[in-house]
Amino acid sequence: MGDILNELLSEIESSEIDEQVKIICDKIIEEEKDEMTCPEFLLQGPNIFLCLDVPGRTPKERAWLALERESKGTYIARLWTQRKTHTLDKEGKPKESQVFPSEQWSVKEVTAKKIIKKYAERLHYLKGE
């Protein structure tokens, strides 16, 4: 991951930190999209830069770790959970999609590389790696 991250950062060096983080997160999503177990349930929004599957705390739960922008240059990693009983409607959209924030961790870093590394550390921890 380090070499790919360094290569990508050298290409976007002149951008603002938020733009750098967003470009890196988009690249990560592109690389990980085939590994996602329930992509239709992933959180989306203008301040959710990255959202990846992690194991639920119980067998009856889905979970995701999101990298969210709280304000310009300020990020948090937040665990979101949902009961597996939620299903899709006829159009393939989540039905009764109640997703609850469970825990959150501040990402107190000032460079795009360190922000992504903090997210990756939390992701590996939640996956038990």
Q: Could you give the CA distance from residue 119 to residue 68 in angstroms, rounded to a whole number?
A: 10
Rounded mean pLDDT of 54-60?
Answer: 86
pLDDT 10s digits, 96-116: 555 667 788 899 898 888 999
Q: Is the pLDDT of residue 25 over 70?
A: yes
pLDDT 10s digits, 62-86: 888 999 999 888 999 999 888 777 6
Q: Is the pLDDT of residue 94 over 60?
A: no
Sequence-distant (6+) residues with CB within 8 A of 26 are: none
What six digits make up the tokens of 99? Answer: 């997703």
**Boundaries of every domain in the chain:** 2-127
The pTM (predicted TM-score) of the whole model is: 0.81
Give the CA-trace dihedral at 70, 103, 122, 129, to 10 degrees.
-160
pLDDT at 92: 57
In single-letter form, the type of residue at position 74 comes to T
